[in-house]
Amino acid sequence: MALTSHTPDLGERLRTGFGLLGPRHQRHSLPPEHLDTLSLPIGDDGVVVGVDAEGQPAVMGINRPTPYDIVLIGGLWTAQVLALRAAATGARVAVETGRAQHWAQLVQAVGGGQSGMTVHEVGRVPPQGASAGGPVLVIRDCGMRPPRGRVASAPWQSVLTLLPYLSPVAPRLMRQARLVGVQRVSPDEAAEIGRVMGLPRGEYESLPTLADGVTLWCTDRDRQYVMTQATDAETGLLGTARRMD
């Protein structure tokens, strides 16, 4: 059967459910010589972890189609801010911890279950079933010597391991991680971190002087100092930035 071209009028569109006519505008055009002036305010997608030295937002992309391991040598306050902000982006947050009482208020604020934040005993995190439509952040708050986790990083499932100080297992975890954050540490710890991460002397010598809320985030190629500034709601829930808990 041959198809014929037919343009329905407005009444026929409404009767058949074809749809309403949209507004009609003239085409927008740009001369080729002006293309170099065109720019779009698009940045990286992820969790805003703070601002850099220029005051620009620093973004951590935790929802990834590939496994992603993060190590934070720092305070619980920063890890909890990251958990809140990850949950705000739609990620489910699973916390593995031996101090569940420190996370109870966050679970209440975020909401528990499969759409919010859950807390599990050390070694008892069940499979999370992460997917592109339901990314997961696992936070391992397991002290100085975290055991090997039952739930590892996977596509759409990032794992953040929180270490309060440098420990004997820290160098191995740092070498395996894709991203390492370091807050204020002692001079001896700073020198060891500098050796493991290959930091210039000026950078690792600055680590003992970092203010509360400041983190040096390191990848294989880049390093960036970031100040995490809490919102009013985060301050009301967690208090002000602090390195010690």
Place of tokens 């920063």: 78
Per-residue pLDDT at 244: 87
Handedness of CA 220, 226, 232, 235 (dihedral sign): positive
- DSSP label of 154: B
Per-residue pLDDT at 150: 82
**What rounded mean pLDDT belongs to the chain?**
85
What CA–CA distance (Å, rounded) separates 111 from 54?
Answer: 35
The answer to the question of residue 7 being in a domain is: no
CA angle 73/77/79 to nearest 5° reads: 55
Q: Which of 183, 102, 187 is nearest to 141 (CA)?
A: 102
The answer to the question of residue 148 being in a domain is: yes
Per-residue pLDDT at 149: 77
What CA–CA distance (Å, rounded) separates 34 from 36?
Answer: 6
Per-residue pLDDT at 14: 43
Low-confidence ranges of the chain (pLDDT < 50): 1-7, 10, 13-28, 35-43
The answer to the question of residue 136 being in a domain is: yes
What CA–CA distance (Å, rounded) separates 88 from 224?
Answer: 24
Per-residue pLDDT at 42: 34
The answer to the question of residue 18 being in a domain is: no
Range of the domain at 128: 47-238
CATH of the domain at 106: 3.40.50.300
The answer to the question of residue 91 being in a domain is: yes
Per-residue pLDDT at 33: 58
Quote the number of domains for the chain.
1
The answer to the question of residue 83 being in a domain is: yes
Per-residue pLDDT at 39: 39
The answer to the question of residue 10 being in a domain is: no
